[in-house]
Structure formats: C-alpha cells, structure tokens
Amino acid sequence: MEEKRNIEEIILNGSADELAQLRLWLFKESVRLENQESALSERYERLERDEISFKEKMDAAEKKLENASKKLNNDKALFDQRLRILNNGFDQLNADKKKLESEFIRLEREKAYQREDEYDALDLLFRGVDSALTLKKRYKDLMKMFHPDNISGDSYMVQLINQEYSVLCRQYDISMKA
C-alpha cells in the first residue's frame, strides 16, 4: 500500500530522474509480467497437450481393456462350453460303464445257467447208457445229428458231446475209437 502512495507521489510531484526511474521500473515490470504471462501461456498449452495425450492414452487403454475383457469373456464361454461337453462325455462314459457292468453280470449269469443247461442236456443225451456198446451207439447217433457238416449241426455242441463221451469212455474202460 505504501509503495502505491510512493508511485503516485512520484508521478504527481516527482523529478525527471525519479520519473525516468519509474518508467524504467514500469517497463521492466511490464516485460517481467509479459514474460511470466508467456511462460504461463506456454505452460497452459503444454498442460492442455498433456491432458489430450493422457486422454488419448486412457481411451486406448480402455479400448485395450475392453477388448481384453471381451476376449476373456469369450474364452471363459468357450472353456465353459468345453467343460460341459467333457462333463457330458464323462457322464455318458459312466452310464455306459454301468450299463456294460450290468450287461457283463447278466452275461456271466447267463453263461452259468447255460453251462448248467448244457450239462443237463448232456446228461439227458447220454441218459440210459449203461454199457460200452450203448455208449458207442449213442455217440454215433449224436454225431450224426450235431455234426457241423449237417444242416442243424453245432460245433460247440459236438465239442461238449466229445468231452462227455471221453469221460464216459473212461468209466467204461473202452478205447476212444468209435
């Protein structure tokens, strides 16, 4: 405030030297203020450029993040889909395994019953054989019926008949020449 009074006094009552010094000081102050204004203006422009550059970088980063997020969501959806397919496949495999196990058990039971039936059938086929002569005759008759070259032949049945025949031959102590 006092400085303002001094300047006003110099302007109103000052000598030429004091006025010259005041003009010089005002000129220097004006130049300093213009330089400061210019520096501030440059700094403001630089800040605006930095802000624009920052916004561009942020936009690019946001786009990149958005693209990465979309890719991640797509990858997650693909992963989930593949996981569902695998789980369905494993479920199907487990169901098939259970089905095969039950089928295997059923077939094993059926084989056991079939073996019992085969031996019952063999007992039936050789029922009434009480001598070596009747054994040979029955064997020949059975071979005529079940021989694989025959229309109703069955090679498996022939194998069973041969096994039973060999057991019965040992019982009757006869040679296996038929």
For the chain, the domains span 2-125, 126-178
Confidence of residue 175 (pLDDT cuts 50, 70, 90): low
* pLDDT, mean of residues 86-107: 90
Instruction: Note the pLDDT of residue 125.
Output: 85
C-alpha span between 143 and 153 (Å, rounded): 9
Task: For 68-81, write each residue's pLDDT tens digit.
Answer: 999 999 999 999 99
Q: Is 7 exposed, middle or buried (0-12, 13-18, 19+ CB in 10 A)?
A: middle
Averaged pLDDT for residues 18-28 = 87
> How far apart (Å, rounded) are the C-alpha atoms in residues 155 and 125?
16
**Digit-coded pLDDT (tens) for 26-46:** 899 999 999 999 999 999 999
Of 63, 156, 83, 76, the C-alpha closest to 115 is 156
Residue 5 has pLDDT above 80, yes or no: no
User: What are the backbone dihedrals phi and psi of residue 40, each rounded to the nearest 5 degrees, phi first?
Assistant: -65, -40
DSSP state of 148: T
Distance CA 53, CA 108 (A): 80
125-145: average pLDDT: 89
